[in-house]
């Protein structure tokens, strides 16, 4: 016998009376109806506390713009690299090609997806795993380790060597068409397998599919350069030229130490993720055989201390967060108290950070770069954030993040191993526990 309870007219009358007699609601209802919740709940004190002044601040470059694409992780990664190139060569402003890495990310994701389809060829069509793989095989999003896998395999090029195209700036149509192609490829491979075709023949057909995918990709993003000349003028107006560069030689010359020693710290305070334990996410990646995604879960004070040490070492920090929460975009403010929803609505939000992760209220949606901090003694008060949304928001595109927002909505920060404590370095060497593909720690790679 069902125990489910429908709403009745008696319930409705009680609700109607409850809402009608509340004096608080009478005061705020018109405001919310006329100007919306955000304007009603806006805490103007956040504009004062969120001023763009920092006790420790790395030199700024002109802000970048990912336009209508989900390439934040690529922009954030390349922005950390361009900073070092600018400092090394004394260049006032410089940008690396995001379109170049986007091209190879799409190509590698196509191969990775089809390899996953072959690996799961015995799964039924209604398998949750197969449905997850088919849901978004070619999303724009990614993770730090996916970024380093691309850079270490394909290198980097200046932006003027492979500039933006229509589809790199507005990727939705390209993604839709190429996703259609990949789903058709998946159907063919699975159908052929059910007819008894062996794995060697399936692999050969998959190679043909990836070759055709490459051709289609060039129509949207262009042909990646194999060799180029790098020309620039430094701060002293001196012209420089480097001939016969390849993407890999350029990367290795500028970053001879590579990116292997940077590690991803996360703060995920949920019961299934103990602190000082490493994690990976099943089926999260792009480059087959490339760097596996790996995280170390730490307490917030440990993460912040490592981030500050890296900034003091003049090294910007790639980080992942839930950017849509408590953000005033126009002013470039990220502050947990910028909108006083609970006070205005006279209600309470009961989920803490761990609860928001567990119950789908929050997850990583955006990657940016921390390039400064305002310290009161040793305590961080606010953070300077380099975004990739163009220069019309915040301070010419730079945002300010309150420390309370860091606490609530920052989930990941990438730091060099030398900034870890001995305890953290030891924990980093532990074998990662494998999380399910749909775990929120993999969500940034699914953003469009």
Q: Which sequence positions are flagged as catalytic?
A: 72, 366, 387
CA distances from 24 to 27, 35, 103, 343, 356 (A): 5, 17, 54, 10, 27
- Pairwise CA distance, residues 158 & 229, whole Å: 10
Give the other-Cβ count within 10 Å of 411's Cβ: 25
- Pairwise CA distance, residues 17 & 4, whole Å: 24
- What is the CA 251 to chain-centroid distance, rounded? 22
Per DSSP, helices labelled H in 227-292 are: 247-254
Do 319 and 370 touch, CB atoms closer than 8 A? yes
- Pairwise CA distance, residues 340 & 337, whole Å: 6
Helix (H, G, I), strand (E, B) or coil at 390: coil
User: Long-range contacts: 31-40, Cβ < 8 Å, 24+?
Assistant: 32/344, 37/339, 37/341, 37/344, 37/345, 38/339, 40/344
- What is the CA 369 to chain-centroid distance, rounded? 10
- Pairwise CA distance, residues 307 & 315, whole Å: 9
Q: Which residues pair with 382 in a beta bridge?
A: 374, 402
- Pairwise CA distance, residues 106 & 397, whole Å: 27
On the CB side of 4, CA atoms within 13 Å amount to: 2
Task: Tell me what percent of the chain is helix, strand and coil, each rounded to the nearest 5.
Answer: 45, 20, 35
Q: Compute φ and ψ for 43, nearest 5 degrees.
A: -100, 105
Do 101 and 74 touch, CB atoms closer than 8 A? yes
Helix (H, G, I), strand (E, B) or coil at 414: strand
């Amino acid at each position: 016998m069902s125990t489910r309870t429908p709403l009745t007219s008696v319930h409705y009358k009680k609700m109607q009376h409850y809402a009608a007699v509340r004096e608080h609601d009478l005061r705020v209802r018109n405001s919310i109806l006329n100007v919306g919740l955000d304007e009603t709940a806006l805490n103007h004190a956040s504009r004062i506390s969120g001023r763009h002044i920092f006790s420790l601040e790395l030199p700024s470059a002109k802000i970048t713009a990912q336009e209508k694409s989900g390439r934040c992780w690529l922009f954030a990664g390349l922005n950390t690299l361009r900073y070092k190139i600018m400092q090394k060569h004394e260049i006032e402003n410089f940008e690396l090609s995001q379109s170049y890495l986007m091209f190879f990310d799409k190509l590698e994701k196509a191969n990775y997806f089809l390899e996953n389809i072959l690996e799961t060829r015995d799964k039924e069509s209604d398998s949750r795993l197969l449905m997850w793989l088919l849901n978004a095989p070619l999303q724009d999003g990614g993770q730090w380790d996916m970024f380093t896998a691309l850079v270490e395999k394909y290198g980097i090029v200046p932006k003027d060597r492979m500039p933006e195209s229509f589809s790199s700036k507005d990727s939705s149509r390209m993604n839709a068409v190429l996703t259609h192609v990949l789903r058709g490829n998946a159907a063919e491979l699975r159908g052929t397998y059910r007819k008894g075709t062996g794995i060697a023949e399936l692999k050969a057909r998959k190679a043909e599919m990836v070759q055709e995918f490459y051709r289609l990709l060039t129509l949207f993003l262009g042909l990646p350069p194999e060799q180029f000349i790098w020309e620039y003028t430094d701060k002293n107006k001196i012209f420089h030229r480097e001939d016969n560069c390849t993407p890999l030689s350029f990367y290795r010359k500028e970053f001879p130490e590579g990116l292997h020693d940077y590690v991803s710290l996360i703060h995920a305070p949920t019961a299934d993720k103990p602190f000082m334990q490493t994690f990976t996410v099943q089926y999260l990646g792009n480059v087959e055989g490339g760097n596996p995604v790996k995280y170390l879960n730490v307490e917030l004070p440990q993460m912040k201390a490592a981030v500050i040490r890296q900034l003091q070492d003049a090294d910007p920090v790639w980080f992942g967060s839930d950017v849509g929460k408590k953000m005033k975009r126009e002013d470039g403010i990220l502050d947990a108290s910028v909108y006083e929803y609970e006070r205005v609505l006279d209600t309470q939000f009961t989920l803490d950070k761990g609860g928001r992760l567990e119950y789908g209220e929050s997850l990583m949606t955006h990657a940016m770069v921390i390039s400064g901090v305002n310290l009161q003694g040793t305590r961080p008060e606010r953070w300077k954030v380099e975004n990739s949304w163009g220069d019309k928001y915040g301070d010419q595109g730079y945002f300010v993040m309150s420390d309370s927002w860091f606490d609530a909505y920052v989930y990941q920060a990438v730091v060099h191993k030398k900034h870890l404590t001995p305890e953290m370095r030891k924990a980093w060497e532990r074998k990662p526990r494998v999380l399910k593909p749909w775990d929120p720690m993999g969500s940034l790679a699914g953003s469009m």
